[in-house]
Structure 1
Amino acid sequence: MTTSPASASVNPASVNQLRTGRSGVHYEIFVRSFADSNGDGIGDLNGVTSKLDYLKDLGVSAIWLMPISPSPTYHKYDVTDYYGIDPEYGTMDDFRRLITEAHQRDIAVIIDLVLHHTSIRHPWFQEAAKGPDNPYWHYYKWLRPDEIKRRKLATRDITADSGEKNPWHSVKGASYPEQYYGMFWSGMPDLNFDYRPLREEVFSIARFWLTNVGVDGFRLDAARHLYRESEEPKNHEFWQEFGRVVEAAKPGAYTVGEVWTRPERIAPYFRGLKANFNFDLQLMVAEIVRQEDDTEDLVEFLTYVHKTFSNVNPEFIDALLLSNHDQNRIGSMLKGNIAQLKVAANLLLTLPGLPYLYYGEEIGMLGVKPDENIREPFLWDIRANDTQRTRWRRGTYSTSQTVRPLAQQQANPDSLFSHYKRLIAYRNSHPVLTDNLSRLFPTGIRQKGIVAFIRQASTGDAPLVLVVHNLTRKPIEVVFSPDESWCRCVVFETLPGSSFNDDRVTVPAYGCVVIE
């Protein structure tokens, strides 16, 4: 195979702040499950540091750590100290060393910042719960039961991100009638962003992590739910202010929001946040790969989505994923079918936008809700040899019997891991593919079992590339339309067996080709 001469001199994404998110591939880590450095069975920050060379070898340009601050729960999405590190995971010195070591490898570090709510054990809430006269009362949302009833707020519709139907909760033993609002459950009271002192405290927290500790950005949990749906413009306003605070503290710092709704309602969040996750695309990719046919018209959908986002912010970053800590793992969604998992990886890593890998996705880890089952220990090796496998829980879905551990896959050039590594390496080397702000154009190709699209770098000074995916188990001869007359040769193939002949290209079963 030939390689584009222009691609050879392009380096992977730098940790330079102004480029974080604009190129490269990100990797989500549940610290508890990733790697154990001290033998207590719980993954920790030093364990993550010990695996930075692995992540560098895989081709990752940034890691997103799920919450690392003190919390009473295993997942740590209910924080008790926004300025600390949970002792289960290590110390602030450990975290600073992780950042230093990551930066030495040109890997940025992004942390989960859970601003929507705190734990009921947070000192703010402990104070607020003393009553309406307490200075922290207004940090949270309180209403009297009669007002909740009058305003018809007593219940909420169950949504994909919260099963809580009755969001108003009483403080046990309280002498006052007011109840606090907790959208997710009674242990996570929502913060009140209408209260200016609370906002300023939140901004101080962001500055602390950016400037004092040195992180490169934030993933913003439940970004759409700071205010109720009827007050959604207030969400947009807050994130615009937050974005200005972040940019002033560390120019170029990266922000990505968890906003799960229609494209038209996601778009305004790009006024304050640089990226937002594309959950609709995630569901669509799993469906078309499973059916082995583009029944959803993926390119038409993405063209519409990107136009919608661009109308608000032409510099938007579309954050792409196959699964994460809240969704069933793509490995289980595709029933462990390695050929189809490779197709899903092909789409994730060639579509325009910023791809996120959920830890273990590259080795085909499995998992179906409840949440603990999609957050199982990473399989570094078979159990007898795996000194860093975490033991906080035994794997239910991902075990050495159901998933080949990394050590075995590293030695196999045909493994899912080897596929990810080779595809990421090529993506990182290519001036168009690694441009996460590059734009999508449809093609004239309309064939069953095929997804084809054109990408062009955001700068406009790089050549067009045509990417063709075969979703099926048989080779397909793809005939170009007159619109693809500029295509001259295949510069990359995920599987051997492609051939280019004048006005057509043959794509192997479950294969992908890049054409210039």
Structure 2
Amino acid sequence: MMKKILSLLIVLLIITGCAPDEVLTVDPETYESLSVDELEEKLIDSRVDKLEGQVFYNIFPKSFADSNGDNRGDIEGITLSLDYLDNLGIKGLWLNPIHPSPTYHRYDVTDYLAVDPELGTIDDFVELIEQAHEREMVVIMDMVLNHSSSSHPWFQKAINGEEPYVDYYRIVKDEDFTSDLYPNREGWYHLENKGIWYYAAFWSEMPEFNADSVELRIEFRKILKYWLDLGVDGFRYDAAYHLYDSAEAEIRTPTMQRNQQFWLEMKDYVKSINPEAYVVAEVWSDSKTVQAYSSGFDSLFNFDFATKVLEGVNRGQPLEILTSILNHQRAMTERNPNFLDAIFLSNHDQPRVMTVFGNDRNKMNLASSILLTMPGNPYIYYGEELGYLGNKPDEQIREPFLWGEGSRVTTPLWEPIKFNTNTADVQAQQQDSNSLYHHYRSLIHIRHENEALLKGEMSFLNISSNVLAYERTSENQRMVALHNFSNQRFVFDFNHEGRVVFQTKAGSFFNKQVVIEPYESILIEVND
């Protein structure tokens, strides 16, 4: 089927969960009237200053906290864990999908206006939001607008040719699916009995949406408004880069421009409901590609940062980290002056950091010290603060969180623990002042207590080819971070007055001289 923008009269949709007189009025004649340039200009002053520099925590709900002993993580368990997260210093929660789904990961949604009963209820979710807000935490939820489950009622109606659902997905009739229009058949699936092809890049059971459909965009608005009205503080958009894939579109379709326009439009809509709502997205690509999307979101996950830090620490080579960070920040802010970098070490799709480092605590301390002293919003993947191990397949990088005896919740043993049988649990690490947990907690609190680390500008210092050194400077404060990537001790002059705020080993700063031990991180507040 040739994709098209449907021509409609004024569409009125009652928003589920809102008062009966609340309606969403959309005029399709003007729905896509704003270009990328116009939307960027309209959103030029959009910003979320209150979140700048704050630390987020990524929770995979099924694996995090069990409140009722059924060996499955749930929303109430997360609520009961808020004191733990608050004590750690977390200011933002990102929840992986909570919608009904036929799979454990829930990235194939069957109902965007519901909570999976296995996790709890809408009331449970609202309670979580309210309790988080009482602790001055924001809650953002995963929103998957690139694809749905093949079990979603929309898709089932679409493959049977029902209007308007047939235009909700990338569906093409046999006679229209020609090699001159669709030369790349990768990701396409044939339903011979229906006489159609549909596109599903990630998996046959994750059919991809056709964002050209005005009616689908109205559905998306309905979904976003519903959750914002419930109190959600924003969204993490999954697979934003793939909304318009080159393989799913007719040849010569300007997919990049359409991607940009769609996400700017969604940002504009979200900000019209809550100007302080926060939108962050996954665009898993190099910085040059990511730059094109920077105006469509408040933040984008910095995959280059994660790669360069892990590779640099493993190889003992900090130089590429410096170049990557400078180039990335320059590129993002050129297009979006209010851009907030979303930095991280690993996430729910990648091997655990401690596994990448071969269970080396020195390297883990070094990488996390870099993460928590850099500009942007650091994201911590649950269990990272305990030194969690894990490698592919995906289930084993999403192992149950180890709470230990005496916690308000229990470990949700929905799958056997393979990699973390010897990892110390929360209770044990809280009682051990030398634990990785206390390393993370100390640095997070230091970050929040020092404005230079939260919002300061960054410049690099030339100390040694083995030492990553940079300065964070705000109006009232100057901090210097030093990270020794080598197994050698360094002594060098530092002609400033100041004090050591944090250190991971026995290094020192005395009489304007710094001693930094192998694999040590030192944070100095400069007073002159």
TM-score bucket (shorter structure): 0.7 to 0.9
1:472 paired residue among 486, 506, 519: 486
Matched, 1:111 2:134: no
- Give, in whole Å, the separation in 1 of the partners of 2:322 and 2:90: 26
Matched, 1:349 2:372: yes
> Does the residue aligned with 2:223 lie in a helix, a strand or coil?
helix
Deviation at 1:169, TM superposition (A): 1.3
- Give, in whole Å, the separation in 2 of the partners of 1:479 and 1:98: 50
Task: Give a deviation string over 1:206-243, Cα, whole Å, max 9, x none.
Answer: 111112x1000100000111102451111111111111
1:97 paired residue among 99, 124, 127: 127
- Give, in whole Å, the separation in 2 of the partners of 1:246 and 1:326: 27
Superposition map of 1:76-87 within 5 A: 76-87=106-117
1:185 paired residue among 203, 216, 220: 203
> Does the residue aligned with 1:297 lie in a helix, a strand or coil?
helix
Task: Give a deviation string over 1:158-189, Cα, whole Å, max 9, x none.
Answer: xxxxxxxx311133742xx2211111111111
Deviation at 1:190, TM superposition (A): 0.6
Equivalent residues of 1:456, 1:463 under 8 A apart: yes
1:286 paired residue among 305, 310, 324: 310
Report what 2:240 is aligned to.
223
Report what 1:265 is aligned to.
289
- Give, in whole Å, the separation in 1 of the partners of 2:492 and 2:83: 40
Equivalent residues of 2:301, 2:343 under 8 A apart: yes
Deviation at 1:152, TM superposition (A): 6.6
Report what 2:214 is aligned to.
196
Q: Could you tell me which amino acid in structure 2 is paired with residue 187 of structure 1?
A: E
2:515 paired residue among 501, 506, 512: 506
> Does the residue aligned with 1:88 lie in a helix, a strand or coil?
coil
Report what 1:493 is aligned to.
502
- Give, in whole Å, the separation in 2 of the partners of 1:247 and 1:77: 25
1:330 paired residue among 350, 353, 367: 353
Deviation at 1:479, TM superposition (A): 4.2
2:392 paired residue among 369, 375, 389: 369
Matched, 1:441 2:462: no
Deviation at 1:39, TM superposition (A): 1.1
1:151 paired residue among 180, 185, 206: 180
Deviation at 1:510, TM superposition (A): 2.3
CA, structure 1 residues 512+427, in 2 after alignment: closer, same or farther (shift >3 Å)?
A: same
CA, structure 1 residues 334+153, in 2 after alignment: closer, same or farther (shift >3 Å)?
A: farther
Q: Could you tell me which amino acid in structure 1 is paired with residue 397 of structure 2?
A: I
- Give, in whole Å, the separation in 1 of the partners of 2:374 and 2:409: 37
Matched, 1:406 2:426: yes
Task: Give a deviation string over 1:80-115, Cα, whole Å, max 9, x none.
Answer: 111000000000000011111111111111100001
- Give, in whole Å, the separation in 2 of the partners of 1:23 and 1:103: 18
Deviation at 1:456, TM superposition (A): 2.6
Report what 1:391 is aligned to.
413
Aligned length: 472
- Give, in whole Å, the separation in 2 of the partners of 1:289 and 1:392: 34
> Does the residue aligned with 2:235 lie in a helix, a strand or coil?
strand
2:469 paired residue among 452, 467, 479: 452
- Give, in whole Å, the separation in 1 of the partners of 2:328 and 2:87: 33
Deviation at 1:499, TM superposition (A): 2.4
Normalising by structure 2, we get a TM-score of 0.86
Report what 2:336 is aligned to.
313
- Give, in whole Å, the separation in 2 of the partners of 1:67 and 1:90: 13
- Give, in whole Å, the separation in 1 of the partners of 2:447 and 2:191: 53
- Give, in whole Å, the separation in 2 of the partners of 1:130 and 1:454: 60
Report what 1:128 is aligned to.
158
- Structure 1 portions without partners, runs of 5+: 1-16, 157-165
> Does the residue aligned with 2:497 lie in a helix, a strand or coil?
coil
Equivalent residues of 2:64, 2:411 under 8 A apart: yes
Deviation at 1:494, TM superposition (A): 2.2
Equivalent residues of 2:77, 2:409 under 8 A apart: no
Equivalent residues of 1:20, 1:253 under 8 A apart: no
Deviation at 1:143, TM superposition (A): 2.0
Deviation at 1:434, TM superposition (A): 1.8
- Structure 2 portions without partners, runs of 5+: 1-46, 247-253
Report what 1:53 is aligned to.
83
CA RMSD, 1 decimal: 2.0
Task: Give a deviation string over 1:434-483, Cα, whole Å, max 9, x none.
Answer: 22xx43212232x13210112233xxx23332211112344322445xxx
Report what 1:3 is aligned to.
none
Deviation at 1:495, TM superposition (A): 2.6
Deviation at 1:201, TM superposition (A): 1.1
Deviation at 1:147, TM superposition (A): 4.6
- Give, in whole Å, the separation in 2 of the partners of 1:138 and 1:506: 65
Normalising by structure 1, we get a TM-score of 0.87
> Does the residue aligned with 2:210 lie in a helix, a strand or coil?
coil
Equivalent residues of 2:98, 2:119 under 8 A apart: yes
Task: Give a deviation string over 1:299-349, Cα, whole Å, max 9, x none.
Answer: 122111111111101111110111100000101101111121111110110
Deviation at 1:385, TM superposition (A): 8.5
Q: Could you tell me which amino acid in structure 1 is paired with residue 166 of structure 2?
A: W
CA, structure 1 residues 242+218, in 2 after alignment: closer, same or farther (shift >3 Å)?
A: same
CA, structure 1 residues 393+20, in 2 after alignment: closer, same or farther (shift >3 Å)?
A: farther
Equivalent residues of 1:168, 1:182 under 8 A apart: yes
Report what 1:62 is aligned to.
92
- Give, in whole Å, the separation in 2 of the partners of 1:49 and 1:33: 14
Equivalent residues of 1:154, 1:168 under 8 A apart: no
Q: What is the aligned-residue identity percentage?
A: 39
Equivalent residues of 1:423, 1:494 under 8 A apart: no
Deviation at 1:151, TM superposition (A): 3.4
